Chains A and B, each alone.
Chain A
Amino acid sequence: MRLLMLGNKLGMTQVFEQNGTVIPVTVLKIGPCWVVDKRTEEKNGYNAVILAYEDIKENRTRKSEEGQFKKAKLSPKRYMRESRVTKEELDKFEIGQEVNIDLFKKGDFVDISGRSKGRGFTGVMKRHGMAGAKRSHGTHEYFRHGGSIGASASPSRVFKGKKMAGRYGGTRVTLQNLVVADVRPDKSIMIVKGAVPGPNRGNIEVAHSIKRMK
């Protein structure tokens, strides 16, 4: 079963292994999430559970979501995500049920999605990793450019998808196969090796790695 759990990135730090190796880690707060609704084959054509995360004030609730929380007898939440499950797995969930971080354990592989840090309008070197131009040998006002953008009379246009400067960041990014270094169920804290997309306190989605599902 692959549940999409919701949480926040708290920040990065480092941790020592027993032999002295330093591992960079990210600290995440995951859940607790609540089951708001279920999608069923008969009614919706597929099976899924809807999980919600983080309480908000009553007056901040969206009108369109208000009813769903009322129906589930839950306090209003900020985020909701659907996770596809099989029919048998769906029966294990009840509306209003709490889902906790203990789904995950140390050593698990997880996929983490988040919204990457917005970098605004950036040049071609930062955005696409292009090499730029030589600094010397008579280069004049042409240091961080991307070079030629195409041929001449034929095709006499620039091909679609040509890598150029523009807005960078602020998009959904998923990292696959991150290793869970530690789980602290008492505080809903998960520690994963490596970096996670987005700023500190940014929203993230965590699920077991799709490529490691058996």
Chain B
Amino acid sequence: MKVVDEIEKEYEKYKKIPFKPGDRVKVHLKIVEGKRERVQVFEGYVIAIKGSGIKKTFRVRRESYGIGVERVFPLHSPRIEKIEVVRKGKVKRAKLYYLRERVGKSAQVKQTL
């Protein structure tokens, strides 16, 4: 498996994940529209980080016009231009699925100072 790990490393963009569950992030995503390429920003809370090596993904949740939207991004995808941490969150677990049942203020994550 050592060789397989080495090949995975070549494609990895981050040595360490630049955020944690509970953080509010802006994901800058490259989107192809016809022939043009533009950048779309998806902002929300990181509610889960899964997988290992090149297979690592993270799940971002946001509220859009009153409807909860979740997207899963491969961490090392070349389509992601950059990931920006807006706020650090204070949470006690690794998977924040409980946010799905909440609305309004209780759906927010406290900020760490």
Contact = CB atoms under 8 A, between A and B. Distances in A.
Interface stretch (B4-12, B63-71, B99-107): B4-12
Contact of A18 (B4, B53, B78): B78
A13 interface: yes
Contacts of B54: 13-16
A189 B79 contact: no
Interface string A1-30: 000000000111111111110100001010
Given A13-B54, A20-B78, A191 B7 contact: yes
B55 A10 contact: no
A110 B7 CA distance: 21
Contacts of B4: 10-13, 27
Contact of A20 (B8, B53, B79): B79
B76 interface: yes
A16 B3 contact: no
Contacts of B55: 13-14
Nearest to B53: A13
Nearest to A26: B4
A18 B77 CA distance: 9
Interface string B15-47: 000000000000000101000000000000000
Given A13-B8, A14-B55, A16-B11, A27 B3 contact: yes
B113 interface: no
Interface of A: 10-20, 22, 27, 29, 187, 189, 191, 200
10 contacts: A11-B4, A12-B4, A13-B54, A14-B54, A15-B7, A15-B54, A16-B54, A16-B74, A19-B78, A27-B3
Interface of B: 1, 3-4, 7-8, 11, 30, 32, 53-55, 74, 76-79
Given A16-B77, A189-B3, 16 more contacts: A10-B1, A12-B4, A13-B4, A13-B7, A14-B55, A16-B54, A16-B74, A16-B76, A18-B78, A20-B79, A22-B74, A27-B4, A27-B7, A29-B3, A191-B7, A200-B1
